[in-house]
């Protein structure tokens, strides 16, 4: 078996100091991705809360109105109003959570892709 021996070949890893790493361009900034996710979460939560309230109000109104109508017809309108109010609250809560999580993933993902040169 032949062995190549040359003074420029080494199996040792060279150590880098924190100062040397700080001046390397093109590195990945994890903190920047986290911050972008946090910013996206705030916007996503706002949008999700509004959309969730709307969807909840509609589904709650339909459910409440249907239940009120089944109770004799007179309760259809009050049932729809009560159902819409309850649905809006529940929808806003769920929408805020879902929107915030989605916003974080989109914000952090977009930033990560940008840093890595995907777009």
Instruction: Classify each residue of 22-57 as buried b or exposed e, where b means 16 or more C-beta atoms within 10 Å of its C-beta.
Output: eeeeeeeeeeebeebbeebbeebbebbbebbbebbb
Average pLDDT for residues 49-55, to the nearest whole number? 96
Residue 74 is predicted with a pLDDT of 78
Determine the angle formed by the axes of helices 76-115 and 30-70, rounding to 10 degrees.
160
Confidence of residue 19 (pLDDT cuts 50, 70, 90): confident
pLDDT score, position 108 = 95
Against a cut of 0.75, is the pTM above it? no
Lowest mean pLDDT: which of 32-36, 40-44, 70-74, 98-102? 70-74
Where helices occur in the chain by DSSP H, the ranges are 18-22, 30-70, 76-115
Whole-angstrom distance, CA of residue 52 vs CA of residue 101: 14
CB 44 within 8 A of CB 101: yes
- In this prediction, residue 28 carries a pLDDT of 82
Which pLDDT belongs to residue 56? 94
The predicted pLDDT at position 2 comes to: 61
Contact 68, 78 (CB under 8 A): yes
């Amino acid at each position: 078996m032949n062995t190549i021996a040359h003074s420029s070949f080494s199996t040792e890893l060279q150590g880098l100091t924190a100062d040397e790493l700080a001046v390397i361009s093109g590195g990945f900034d994890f903190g920047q991705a986290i911050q972008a996710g946090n910013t996206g979460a705030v916007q996503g939560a706002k949008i999700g809360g509004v959309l969730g309230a709307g969807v909840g109000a509609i589904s709650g109104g339909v459910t409440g109105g249907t239940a009120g109508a089944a109770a004799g017809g007179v309760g259809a309108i009050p049932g729809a109003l009560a159902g819409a109010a309850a649905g809006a609250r529940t929808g806003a809560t769920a929408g805020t959570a879902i929107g915030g999580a989605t916003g974080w993933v989109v914000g952090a993902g977009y930033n990560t892709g940008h840093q890595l040169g995907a777009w």
